[in-house]
Amino acid sequence: MSWNATYALLIAFSTLVTYFSGILIYKAPTAKGKRLVVALSFITNLSILFFYKYFNFFSKTIEDSFAIIGLNIDAPILDLLLPVGISFYTFQALSYTMDVYRGEIKPERHIGIYALFVSYFPQLVAGPIERSKHLLPQLRNFSQLKYENLRSGMLLILWGFFKKMVIADRIAILVNTVYDDPGKYTGIETSAAVLLFSFQIFCDFSAYTDIARGVARLMGIDLMKNFDSPYFSKNITEFWRRWHISLSTWFRDYLYIPLGGSRKGKNRTYWNLFFVFLVSGLWHGASMNFVIWGAMHGLIIVLEKLYYKRTSWFFSIKRDASFSVKLFRGLFTFTLVTFLWIFFRADTFSDSLIVIKNLFDWDMTRVFNGELYNLGLTSGQLYLSIFFIGIMLLVEYYNSFVTNPIVLLLKQHIVFRWSVYIIIILTILIFGAYGGEQQQFIYFQF
């Protein structure tokens, strides 16, 4: 509201619409009446989201489509700013409407508690997208201040700051340099930017989630886990079970299953999967790049489903698979995900094509002449960033295949624990990136 008071009315309006929708759904005497209220709630909320986030995109798309057939029209373009967190709180509020409609929860009568659910500040602007049956009961049952919550919450916050300030914001300098002028760089520079963006976006987004979960835990609130070591996935299907879990499960529960899921034959299942990822791409942003990014992920997942039995050694996740097979599938999946991030990061579709073209334009003389160190990071800063990425991957590996590192750390002797705390704090203070535009979290723009 301090940024733009008008936009505060949007979240208030969305809150009131879904609050009264829940009550009306519960009181409606017929199934038809319940469906009508659900439809009105979805149409109202999605119309607001469409107007602010997608109106200009579709308007420009229509104008370009007519230009292809020789008709020139001036489609209206509105001067609008995207309200902070609108994609997240809209989906969170709509999930409540559906949960009441399905009978999974009873409507929340206390308007203050429901408003707190929609606008709970730690996860308001970038998730995780919470479910009403998980968060609402916690807001109703006041939790006393507990030392265990304070300790584990502060550790999550500390780890989030490490990933954000020490890794993500530092390598963002190099990534932004290349992507701001992609035609200027080839070979080693472009490859480094593409590879490092994979780590930047993971560390940036998962850092926000860790900080949000940590802040909530200080107050005795448990927010859902949003990441589960996604870069150790063996295929794209598994990647989406581990990446942005709150969004992928939202689409599964509130779009994929209502469309029929896998209950209406293979062809319908494939279409449902592809459509969900197409919408997921559009959710991320009003740009053809995001549509292509989502469509490519959807297409790959359909291919994985289609050829699963024929090439199960490659696509399946078998516990008895050899280490070499697991390693190959993991590296292949990471490479594929990294390549597709190009469409996510590039400013325009034409920039994406330039990056892809330059990715394979190698001049070996540029590999050893120090060009890589003219992208905003000195050689020492770059090698230090790689070292910290290695530390982060080690922790993620341990989390994925051994045990939760925080739980393990809290079992250690107090001297060892506090040594780790102090080392992390000093690392953030000494090696953290301060100042500049890279401080903003990437997912704030969605």
Q: Is the pLDDT of residue 317 over 60?
A: no
- Asked which of 15-29, 286-300, 364-378 is least confident by mean pLDDT, the reply is 364-378
What does the pLDDT read at residue 68? 77
Catalytic residue among 110, 134, 244, 284: 284
Residues 196, 341 contacting (CB under 8 angstroms): no
% of the chain at pLDDT higher than 70 = 95
Judge whether 284 counts as a catalytic residue: yes
Nearest 10 degrees: CA dihedral of 292, 295, 297, 302?
-150
As a whole number of angstroms, the distance between CA 246 and CA 244 comes to: 6
> Which among 215, 182, 152, 221 has a CA at the least distance from the CA of 421?
152
Domain ranges of the chain: 5-140, 148-234+317-445
* DSSP reduced 3-state for 184: helix
Q: Residue 369: pLDDT above 80? A: no
Q: What ranges make up the beta strands (E) of 229-356?
A: none
- Tens of pLDDT along 184-238? 888 889 999 999 999 999 999 999 999 999 999 999 999 999 999 999 998 999 9
Look at residue 318 and tell me whether its pLDDT is greater than 70: no
Q: Is the pLDDT of residue 354 over 90?
A: yes
Whole-number pLDDT of residue 441: 82
Asked whether the predicted pLDDT for residue 308 surpasses 80, the reply is: no
Averaged over 43-55, what is the pLDDT? Answer: 87
Whole-prediction pTM: 0.89
pLDDT averaged over every residue in the chain: 87
Q: pLDDT, tens digit, for every residue of 100-147?
A: 999 899 999 999 999 999 999 998 888 799 999 999 999 988 777 888
